[in-house]
A and B are shown apart, each in its own frame.
Chain A
Amino acid sequence: MASESVREQTGRAAAGLQESPRHDARRSTADGARDSAPGAPADAGAHGIPPYTGDPLRRPRRPLVPVAPGPEAVELSGPVFGPADVDPLDSDLTRQHAGEPLGERITVSGRIADRRGRPVRGQLVELWQANAAGRYANRLDRRRAPLDPNFTGAGRCLTDDEGRYHFTTIRPGPYPWPGREHTWRPAHLHFSLFGTAFTQRLVTQMYFPGDPLLRYDSIWHSAGDAAARDRLVAAYDPGLGVSGSTLGYRWDVVLDGPAATWAEEGR
């Protein structure tokens, strides 16, 4: 991925789809406190911000069908990754081009565990993000903000034997939500994670502590109650960064898993 040029990715014609301005005020059911009629004051959720519920034409209308996977279910296993999948340089997003990217250097590291606290070893962690100006090196991002020829904003690594991952990158800038007035996404890193079971698959977003935009962000609010939202915010860790070079942020992840009896099998 390091060889992909920013120019190539952004020079193609836009496919035309930006983040949709369509927004549905129906609340998330993740937080019972918000379980009231749409439009009612309580519907606004914490901080008065309605949680993001997705594109009304895309979100399924029927309830999810619960599955208690039996031993034959392939979802109880998952893809296996190894050194052939990831180059060691893939975890340093500041070293993917000839020059130095603009922005505040950061180290982002943490531990991936399952719900029983067991480390998730040797699994793939992927990260993607905007540049320091809040622009993605992605052809769909048509915003008028500078691209950085020295920053693509995509990285990968494998977790170690303790379940730890480690990235060096820059702090992304916030960006405005297309089609919404005065609505900015807080600075965030997109993360993609695998567990040992396909059911543990997780794509989420990591945020930075103390960001004043957080309380206004409907996507952050869609994570659920205050405790759930807090799990998406990294902690500043002075000892984690490289002295004189990077600010350190620690962010640990707990992967959900299949429920019910499978959890007892000791995988």
Chain B
Amino acid sequence: MASVIPAGTATPAQTVGPFHGHALPFAGGGAPAPAGHPQTVTVHGAVLDGAGDPVPDALLEFWQAGPDGSAPAVPGALRRDGLAFTGFARVTTGRDGHYVLRTLPPGGAPYLAVCLFARGLPQHLFTRVYFTLPGHDPLLAALPPDRRLTLLAAPDPGHHRAHRFDIRLQGDRETVFLDFATPRSGAAPGAL
């Protein structure tokens, strides 16, 4: 079995550009939680650029395990039938750069996978939203404490079962963005 996939054969990514808003969002995209589900949590925040200004044209995708800890294998990820939890969400930021996600808490590894698209990014960015910082997570363990905190959602005491998660594209508190595709060459993950 081939142990190394030759690099460079994949189709390159390109910027999403500014004109995706009539094509990619779908009804209920930011609310994968089944209607009235008692475990529903709200995750919300802003996407901010290097000047601290909101990014009003970002598209965020979330993928996560269900409360039982397993990744949903339920077709219908673009549909909201009010019953099934498909684990997939897609939401755009508003003019204030803010997004809102209404979902179920992930079981198992306590994080949401995030893929961020925006005009001005040559390609998409991956990150994670952690609800707690588990002791045994290899990614978090390899990050300096201040970088680790950029991946942690903060409880939002002003709202019921709500968490705040801002994404900073640049700056002192630049969010940790992830690379899943480049083979590791001896360096520990997170070694910068």
Contacts and interface: CB of A to CB of B under 8 A. Distances in A.
Interface of A: 1, 4, 9, 15, 17-20, 22, 28, 30, 52-70, 72-75, 77-86, 115-116, 124, 126-128, 130, 136-141, 152-154, 190, 192, 198-199, 201-205, 219-220, 222-224, 227-229, 231-232, 253-260, 263-264, 266
12 contacts: A53-B122, A55-B119, A57-B169, A59-B169, A72-B108, A72-B109, A77-B63, A138-B20, A138-B21, A190-B20, A204-B11, A232-B12
A139 B5 contact: no
Contact of A205 (B14, B64, B71, B87): B14
A203 B13 contact: yes
Given A65-B190, A82-B76, A192 B24 contact: yes
Interface of B: 1-3, 5-6, 8-24, 49-51, 53, 55-57, 61, 63-65, 71-79, 81, 86-88, 95, 106, 108-109, 111, 113, 115, 117-126, 138-139, 142-143, 169-170, 174-184, 187, 189-190, 192
A263 B3 CA distance: 7
Given A4-B22, A139-B21, A190-B20, A65 B115 contact: no
A22 B49 CA distance: 13
B21 A59 contact: no
A259 B180 contact: yes
Nearest to B112: A74
Given A55-B49, A80-B75, A190-B23, 9 more contacts: A57-B120, A64-B178, A74-B113, A116-B2, A153-B23, A201-B115, A203-B124, A222-B122, A264-B3
A96 B136 CA distance: 51
Which 10 A-B pairs rank lowest in CB-CB distance, beginning with the nearest?
A55-B120, A82-B75, A128-B23, A79-B88, A256-B10, A64-B179, A154-B23, A79-B77, A58-B120, A223-B12
A258 to B, nearest CB: 5
Contacts of A19: 17-18, 119
Contact of A80 (B14, B77, B119): B77
B8 A227 contact: yes
Interface SS of A by simple majority: loop
Interface SS of B by simple majority: loop
Given A17-B57, A57-B49, A58-B170, A199 B181 contact: yes
B110 to A, nearest CB: 10
B64 A74 contact: yes
Contacts of A86: 78
A137 B23 CA distance: 10
B122 A63 contact: no
A259 B183 contact: yes
Contact of A84 (B73, B79, B111, B121): B79
B14 A232 contact: yes
B51 to A, nearest CB: 6
A138 B92 CA distance: 14
